[in-house]
Structure 1
Amino acid sequence: MASMNFMSSYAPPSTSPQLYQLFHTSSTSNSSASRSSSNRSWTSDQTDLSKLDNPTENEGEEEKKEEEVVYVAIGKEAKGWKANLAWVVENVAKTKKIAVLHVHRPSKTFPMMGAYIPAENLSDGALAAYRKMEEEKLNKTKKSILMMCLRLKIKAQILIIEKDDITEGLVSLISEHGVTELVMGAATDKYYSKKMKAPTSKKALAMIEQANPACKIWFTCSGNLICTREPHQITSTEQTITATQMSSRASMATQSERMAPTPPFSPIEATSTSAAASLYKRVKDDDLPYPSGRWGQEESELEEIKRQRDEILQDLSRADKHREALEVEAAKFKHMVEELKEKLTEAHCLILHLEKDNEKLQQERVCAVKEANLLRKRVQELEMARYEKEKFCEFKYEELKEATHGFDDSLKIGDGGYGSVYKGFLRGSTVAIKMLNPRGMQGKTEFFKEMSALSKVRHPNLVTLIGACPETWALVYEFLPNGSLEDRLSCKGDTSPLTWQTRVRIAAEVCSALVFLHSNGKPISLIHGDLKPSNILLDSKFISRLGDYGLCRLLEADESTILTRCSGDMGTFVYMDPEFLASGELTPCSDVYSFGIILLRLLTGRPTFGIINEVQKAVTQGKLEKILDKSAGAWPVAVATKIANLGLRCCEIKRKARPDIGSDAWQILEPMMNHP
């Protein structure tokens, strides 16, 4: 992109050594406050300085012929460019016009509050103020150059371009204005030495490579010529390239089309010209006066800018204080966040520790449950051994009458098909006395036979038979204080409902008792025949004991099918095996059917009538949870499903379809006894 140049020039009079012309520039646009540092330039019309002693006189005549121009590249430091300009005046520009080239590079950071703030972080007002000050400083530099040229009585103009890269800016100016002679610094003055034969600054070295080959370049340092890059002819192909294309090509190292090779520069003996040194000393520290009118106007503008700057700085100071307060608050919040992180870490560690402890406690609980079961089993075995050693007691009728206060109805705790049950206090112990109905017996012979068989039956989940009274066909059992399972399922006397864990354990205990009865071995095997919740009694620890076993039937071992005819309506109808009701044949499968009904009642807590169909429908539709007894707590779905399916299998109409109480039912229920 071709650059737009800011140009100022003057034409000094030929007779007077005084300052005759004023420096005049058109003000730049406020767009100099733009946040971006993109390359840009501006222009003003070429003007002459009017005479100081008579500002109203006409301007000098235009040059009739185009003069030769030598270009001088200057930087920001006055010391360096004054020395270079003095050398040009003495050695090159005696008959030529001088044009000063300067690349203005806008600042990207600005000093504020002891730090440098990026331009993009400043407010629009603050950035505009700083750009304005930059512009004023640039104008002051231009005035100093023009005043120096005026003092030396030489013609001069200034070309300024704004670029982020100085080398790129100089290459662009050379291309746009067809510069053929250029003077620029080889290095900063502090690096000058008499042995210097070539440029050392990066900008000078870049210009040797990138500047138009047709341009002759003198490299000076501290008012001394270091070396010269001589011009050379370019090829015909290169001559067709426009000045703008040459400038672009010079700034792009990767462009495929290159200039013709630049011949090596011609070093010369670095000597100082006495006249140039004299001129340099004469102008290096001059403080040239400005025209009073222009100076007053600029001074007013500068004061206004300073006032605006002070206001902006005050705003910035307030903003800085607010920022500091916010930083303090942010530090507090950061500290709080760190504390919360530490607490969160501690809580996480505590949770992990508690989880480990809980896992350890769970393992200890499992071990404790297993140990308790082993101890319970051992106690039961010891009790059974003790019962075996104890002699079966025979009681007199008078003892039973006294124990029950004459068979007082207030001590009656139950009635059944076999007779009434009384609570009594006999020989220092609370007992349950069952008075059998003689009409339900076949005679004393059968009674003694049954008593003899029952006295040999011992199991932890069977009610213990203490003794008997042959006179009145009475049996004396241990007394169990928590009543029957029927009472607990109906919460009789506002008793608390049984939990699902207790119900599962009771089901397994009843199953264990049935397995024992059915496989008691020779010479006898027992079938309960009247299995129902009212015949399942609970001790003080809610351990279930099966009562009334053996009263319905006593099977002889020599009957291969272990079957007998039932001559009476024994037991509750809804718990009876349908095939037994049809045929009168009682088998172990009859107890299995009754056990299935008890399982469904433990699971749902619902009445017996229609319970099989309700559970079957719920299982089929996947809605078993809706019919579970909620008073037992939250049933595990897997446990409830297994019990429901087992209960339904036990209640099959066909005996052959029912599971074996030992090999099937016990294998399912036994693992559930210790379920947490």
Structure 2
Amino acid sequence: MGSFEAIEEEREFDVEETIFVAVGKNVEESKTTLFWAVQNFVGKKICVLHVHQPEHVVEPTDLNFSAKRLKQPICEELWEVEHQKQHELLDQYLLLLVQAGVEADKIWIEMNKVEKGIVDTIAAHNIRWLVMGGAAENHYSEELSELKSKKAFFVCQRAPISCHIWFVCKGCLIYTRGGSKDSVDLEIASPLLLLGSDIENEQLQNSVSESLTNEVRFLDAEGDGNELERISRSLSSQWSVCSSSSTNRVVGTSKLALWLTDEAKALENLCATETSRRKEIEEVLAREKQEVEKMRNQQDKFLKELQMVQDQKSILEAQLEESQSIVKELEEKIISAVKLLISFKEKRDKLRIENGNAVTELQKLRRVLNGEVPSFCSVQIPAFSFMEINEATQNFDPSWKIAEGRYGSVYKGILRHIHVAIKMLPSYGCQSQLDFQNEVELLSRVRHPNLLTLIGTCPESRSLVYEHVENGSLEDRLACKGNTCPLPWQIRTKIAADICSTLIFLHSNKPHIIHGNLKPSTVLLDANFVCKLGDLGIFRMVPQNGHPPHTNQLCNNPEETSLYMDPDYLETGKLTPASDVYSFGLILLRLLTGRPILRILKDVECALENENLEAVLDVSAGDWPLEQAKQLAQLGLRCCETNQVNRPDLVSEIWSLLEQMRASCIASASCLVSKKSGKIPSNFMCPIYQEVMTDPQIAADGYTYESEAIRGWFESGHNTSPMTNLKLQHCDLVPNYALQNAILEWQQRL
């Protein structure tokens, strides 16, 4: 069997930053090699490399045309099953890497020989770093320092010299091959190991040659009868000549007579032998003729059966055509039923919205009757249907996904002609509908210039609709994602002060409002780099069943792990205002240094002890005032104290320092950022009056208008949309309280 090779897809890898690890079918055996690579190449991307030896291969020479055509779907199904198994196998390895917090990828190839597949993959992708097993685990000992695997030996000898290879056994390094010719010091493999497949091919060719020789001999045997007849005729002719000659020579010596007698007997015996052989050949030909006749009869029988099959095929084709007609009719009925179902769903959504509004109004009336006074101003937010959410996100198009984490996925969208961010809460945090509405109502009443505005909600899909900010998250800007410019130190100082101001506002309420999920990815920046804290109170909507979140339950991005969470909360599961202070301290250190979270505390602490703080400051932010940076670094370390009692107070210690710095940075920061406060947001303008709206109302066309303008449009006899000129289904108006509050906040900041 020749080599069979199929690479999953053409991929490009950053070979300078990627460690490729060769793994086998057995996850338990290859796991030690994989973990060795993770432990010894911290910060590198790991790519799992697997060579699959196909089990189901059909040789074309073994099948005639009809058989191949029948078995081809079966072979394709077998190959598809094998490919599915390979994906499942590699997903197990990727899961191990994800749980270990490592960025991972995979590549696999099909080939009859594993070692050749590894070498070909190294050459095809110009792999620079490879880790693979060097010996079976039962060969391992502390003194082991050489390769005990033919595959490893083959790869060591045949891999391109540019690839550096580490051979591991039982989690220990046993041999290293450098990326040059001089480092390859193993003996060359025995040629017999390399020629095994060639010997098999030579044996197969000898077998085919012997079969062909036998066939030639059989064909030659069929011509023996004619040859024997010629020989017989020649001998008879010679005998006649001899007889004639002996007759004419009556007088001769006795010696000549005896010679002629012996020659005649020899010729007679030869003729008898040839006659016997001819008779045997005739018998063989007779039997062959019978076989041919028998095969002709079978052929006639097969032709009759073929005719019957063709007749049945015609009948089945007629039935298939009838079935297709029935299917088409059923499809039309299904389409009609789906349209009817959509109509029913729209009516249901409308009734649910009306019911939700009625329930909200009823709850408000009950609170008024009971004399309850809310701690915040009452704000009504729209409730959207799932159909609207689905259309806004283009059927949840993956390219519209902004972020994904433990608290759900975030999609950008256009909802009622407004750019929004839609957060889909995970299913494992399901609450009752009443609890969900209560949490949403609480969040809707919390208003602050540095809090992300909650525009609406979809109770049906348990999703929250927020305003969309243009400059993404603080995490993205610190990493300069999308080739964005680094944040200057003035803006970073202002962001820290804004976060502190927002936390003071939340913690000053009775009872305390704790953010609970403060980290750079939840600190968002608008067009003017004003920070907006998102995910407020989201931990209450995704409960942890009374237990603090464990690191393994989080995503593999270190920024999304429990590293930003208060260690006391991770131990007890109880959130306090001091928990937000701990998270704020880590954000403050990241603003200063721009470094990853893993070693930031130790790096800053060592820099302060050695009086070398400028060594860890983020130079991309500009020239930090050294004394101010030192004060911020010390403040950040105090916020991250393990004991909550030792953490500074937000108002008296943190804000008193940041307020002074913020005042000195506002003037310079305004020169660094293109201010857009003088430009009125387009969604604040009434499409009819072209003025900032004071009482925005949503019409049936989905657009928002000033109340006076749209009512005047209807009173003048119009029943169409002022924007699309299409007929409206109704003239009812719905107040857009979320937009109204956003306009008020914008006007207050002017």
Do they superpose with TM above 0.5? no
TM-score bracket for the superposition, by shorter chain length: 0.3 to 0.5
Q: What is the TM-score when the length of structure 2 is the normalising length? A: 0.36
In proportion to residue count, which structure has more helix?
2
Which structure: larger Rg?
A: 1
